[in-house]
Chain A
Amino acid sequence: MLTRRHFLAATGALVSATAAGVAPSWSQGVPSGYPADYKDLVEKAVKEGAVSIYTSTDDVQGRPLIEAFKAAFPGIRVDYNDLGTNGAYNRVISESAAKQVGSDIVWTSAMDLQMVLVSKGQAETYKSPEIAHLPAWANYNDSLYATSVEPVAIMYNKSQLGALKPPQTRAELIAFLNTNKDALKGRVASFDPEKSGTGFLFFNNDARTTKDTWDLVKAFGGTDPKVYGSSGAMREKISSGEHWIAFNVIGSYAIEWAKKNSNLGVILTPDHAAAFSRVANISKGAPHPAAARIFLDFLLSQKGQTAMAGSGAPAIRTDVTEGLNIAKLNEMAGGKLKPIPVSAALLEGADPKNRAEFFQKWKQALRG
């Protein structure tokens, strides 16, 4: 993506700058807050020699993190597999059934699917020494960790929207879609909950936590709606002017894109500022258990979070100054940021019956 790539350069520089400082810091001893025997774990991990990651974060965005990790632990090779959310899930359960576990870390944006993996006993419990720096909702039974905070947002094309004043709140958005129904015909886009797990997560969370979700979907339905499987696809269509406005896009991406393209506008609505997280767990029977722990700790550490924040996944820690972090986002959302907690409630969204019900309502509302 545009900004990810540009951030590559920036984070690349950052990584090489920190690399020199990081490696010795490990050899000199254990960071503060880490158990004294952590050195042994690192030694074991280096002996294992590799860590295998199944993820939905694409290679472009994940690279700064991987580079930072490799700089900190030069002896550990990273096998990075971008499989998509479904692909990662598929591979984990298939390999587990075939007794050939290939993943050490599963790290995707499908919070619900990964909670299913945890409930199926596919995750190892591990108390990360970084826990103290995370909000309480970001850790589920020491087996599933939130690693980022990514809010939903409205993204729009300034010149195409022209005289139409972009809505600043959810309530305004509904009114906006209803009033300008005809002018906006075929111009409004959003995530497709049917094809995208993230899209479902957003809309299902909306439906559970706010009262006006179905009014919004209904209003959306009146505009000859267009739905997409990724924020990147929406950015392409919004910036080309094919569509004018999109909602429930991943706001952290949109903010980075808007920095590069002055014609893109981004709004975090204070009356509805949900945020999802990329979640990570260690696989049951991971082939490199020590390296898996080291990687998870690194992912949650200030350095790992800095690398990720630099490539568009805002930090869940407040002590990260690069890019966005949870505190800054909360400020941008008028203090009303509502991250989706990593909890067993996510399983409800993964239940086929609940989903069928949701989709029935979704289709009905979309038809108007």
Chain B
Amino acid sequence: MSLSNDAPRFRAGVILALFVMVAAPALLVIYQSVLDAPFFDDNVRFSLEAFRFVLTDPEFYRAFWTTTLYAFGMVLVAVPLGGILAFLITRTDLKGRKWLEPIVLVPMFLSSIVLAFGYTVSVGPSGFVTIAFKSIFGSAPWSIYTLPGIILIGGLSHVPTVYLYVASAMRRLPSDLEEAARTAGAGIWRVSLDVTLPMVLPALVFSAALNLLLGFETFGIPLVLGDPNGILVLTTYIYKVNTIFGAPTYQVMAAVTVFLILITLPLVFIQRRLLRHARRFAAVGGKGARTNLLKLGTTGQAIALSLIGLWLLVSVFFPVGGIVLRAFVETWGEGIKLTEQLTLANFRAVFEIPSLSRGILNTILLAGFGGAIAVAFYLLVGLAGHRNRGMSGTLLDYSVLLPRALPGLIVGLTFFWLFLFVPFLIPLRTTLISLLIAYIIVGLSYGLRIIQSTLLQVAPELEESARITGANVYRSWRDVVIPLVKPGLAGAWAMIMIVFLREYATGVYLMSSGTEVIGSLMVSLLTSGAMDQIAALSFISIALTAVGLTLALRLGAKIHD
């Protein structure tokens, strides 16, 4: 029985609405890129001048090359590490893997600006780790301001993304093949390389493609760590061309964004293909897979745990420790006794300044209530795509992935214009609703993935039996699917909350007095250099994220699907 033709109006309506929401900013960017002035200027003309400028600017090519290195480098760091972590946590009897799992994901929940700041304070040239290391070993042989340093940090922070995909593929694998290999005398290395690895290859390739995509969109880490040294990537290049001409030149920003779209769309396409294969593949293992864990042995445990410990030290402790320290001191670095510097003044300022304390409140509102609205919206989209294999399904897939090709800063700017120039949207601009809509678009692909995987857990037989007993499709959704996925929705809500807490670029252009959010406040404070408040806000953001994560786990969030 085919369910794909059910509720065609609902499906078409939702998918079309989503497509409009997603395509509007992209089309505005493309339109702006072929103009010679802001699109709202009275004397605006069509022109390819912006593309000519970009294509003759050596800096663009340099940024493009750096971005490519960064993206591939990041993949080289993140994919093997993420794969190993996933293997150790899902397929072996590693000690403490239950509580390791949420910790392993922490870097994913921190905004990259926060991460990068944390790193400067801990392992920068005057960082506390660097100073301690120097005092013991004489010198510290690393620099986080070089391209390899930035790539390493970017790669480490994306390990969780790989982990998520690979772990979920590994969980679906039945263990009989591995066991057979073990019984035949293969060592654990052999088993993982010859048996497990080939079976999760699609997931590995998929997460590599995803990370490549994320690498091209990366902003926070190169902005904080690369900028002072003149290391430019495409997104920071966009930031720069905005100021270099004096007045902002949107056409050039738009032209660079068009290039980003051109680079990332093929990646989205590849991802889609891979995902299809991965799904088909995973179905082989299917239900009832009983996993017997591989025994690591004492040496194995020790090696595995120290590897994970080292990774946690570098990816969680260093950045978070840096932020925590900076939030409670005024000065740090060489020759400074930190104990003499301890203060709560940074926080006092944050709570005294109306816009900053309002920003905290707004962020909580946006993440909490906004997150719930977003989940409801994603559920509608998820249902529209649920067991839908028509053309509209393809349109849906692209609509979902298109925002990935647009940097958050640009999404925010185009939404600012949409809310300014589209008549019925005007009253919403200076409310949190405008931010929420932009956030929903930015969080779309991540949020929908969580919802979709929750929906897929409902066995089709249940829906089918509802239909056979006479329920129409809406009724089968209302009475069968939604009640069954309710616990999943609560978890999804908590996850979306964390994604919204972390967001920073989207609100930069959209927020105004009364609708400030923490992430974007940090970006605007960065332009004036108010590091004390940035550190305090980062700390608060981390604390809120921790609350969100605890809530997510309590609510049984399926971090993995």
Taking beta carbons and an 8 Å cutoff, which residues of A are in contact with B? 1-2, 4-6, 8, 52, 56-61, 63, 79-87, 89-91, 93-95, 97-98, 100, 102, 112-113, 116, 159-160, 186, 189, 192, 194-197, 200, 226-237, 239-242, 260-261, 263, 349-352, 355, 359
Contacts and interface: CB of A to CB of B under 8 A. Distances in A.
B243 A86 contact: yes
Given A194-B240, A197-B243, A240-B333, A232 B528 contact: yes
Given A240-B126, A241-B126, A355-B245, A81 B512 contact: yes
B524 A160 contact: no
Contacts of A52: 513
8 contacts: A2-B330, A79-B513, A81-B512, A233-B529, A234-B529, A236-B531, A241-B335, A352-B245
Nearest to A196: B243
* Chain B contact residues: helix, strand, loop or mixed: helix
Contacts of B384: none
Given A189-B228, A228-B228, 14 more contacts: A5-B345, A52-B513, A79-B514, A82-B524, A90-B509, A94-B38, A95-B420, A102-B430, A113-B246, A200-B246, A226-B228, A229-B227, A232-B529, A241-B335
Contacts of B477: none
B248 A227 contact: no
A230 B239 CA distance: 15
A95 B245 CA distance: 21
Contact of A349 (B246, B333, B421, B509): B246
Nearest to A253: B529
Contacts of B349: 5, 8, 60
Nearest to B359: A59
B530 A1 contact: yes
Contacts of A160: 334-335
A233 B513 contact: no
A98 B420 contact: yes
B246 A8 contact: no
Q: What are the 5 A-B residue pairs with the smallest beta carbon separation, nearest first?
A: A232-B529, A240-B333, A230-B529, A241-B334, A97-B40
Contacts of B193: none
Given A195-B227, A351-B246, A233 B524 contact: no
A236 B529 contact: yes
Contacts of B528: 56-58, 61, 82, 84, 230, 232
Interface of B: 38, 40-41, 124-126, 227-230, 239-240, 242-248, 330-336, 345-346, 348-349, 352-356, 413, 416-417, 420-421, 426, 430, 508-509, 512-514, 524-533
Contacts of B531: 1, 232-233, 235-236
B527 A235 contact: no
Nearest to B417: A94
Contacts of B533: 58, 60
B6 to A, nearest CB: 43
B332 A240 contact: yes
Given A79-B514, A100-B426, A242 B125 contact: yes
- The DSSP consensus for interface residues of chain A is helix
Contacts of B513: 52, 79-81
Nearest to A52: B513
Contacts of A239: 331-333, 336
Given A4-B530, A232-B530, A235-B529, A97 B38 contact: yes
Contacts of B242: 86
B333 A93 contact: no
A5 B352 CA distance: 10
* Most interface-central of A61, A63, A359 (chain B CB within 10 A): A63
A186 B531 CA distance: 21
User: Which one of B248, B421, B527 has the greatest number of beta carbons of chain A within 10 Å?
Assistant: B527
B230 A227 contact: yes
B508 to A, nearest CB: 7
A202 to B, nearest CB: 14
Nearest to A112: B246
A94 B246 contact: no
A84 to B, nearest CB: 4
A14 to B, nearest CB: 15
A82 B355 CA distance: 9
B326 to A, nearest CB: 9
A240 B334 contact: yes
A89 B240 contact: no
Nearest to B533: A60
A330 B244 CA distance: 32
A195 B529 contact: no
B511 to A, nearest CB: 9
Contacts of A228: 227-228, 529
A93 B38 CA distance: 9
Contacts of A236: 529, 531
Contacts of B527: 56, 84-85, 196, 229-230
Given A5-B345, A231-B529, A232-B531, A195 B240 contact: yes
Contacts of B420: 94-95, 98, 100
B244 A359 contact: yes
B232 to A, nearest CB: 10
A94 B531 CA distance: 30
Chain B CB within 10 Å, residue with most, of A85, A233, A235: A233
Contact of A241 (B333, B426, B430, B529): B333
Contacts of A84: 524, 527-528
Residue in B246, B345, B417, B426 with the greatest tally of chain A CB atoms within 10 Å: B246
Given A90-B248, A240-B126, A351-B246, A195 B333 contact: no
A94 B330 CA distance: 39
Contacts of A195: 227, 239-240, 243
Given A86-B248, A235-B529, A97 B41 contact: yes
A5 B345 CA distance: 8
Of listed B240, B355, B416, B514, residue having the most chain A CB within 10 A:
B355
Contacts of B240: 194-195
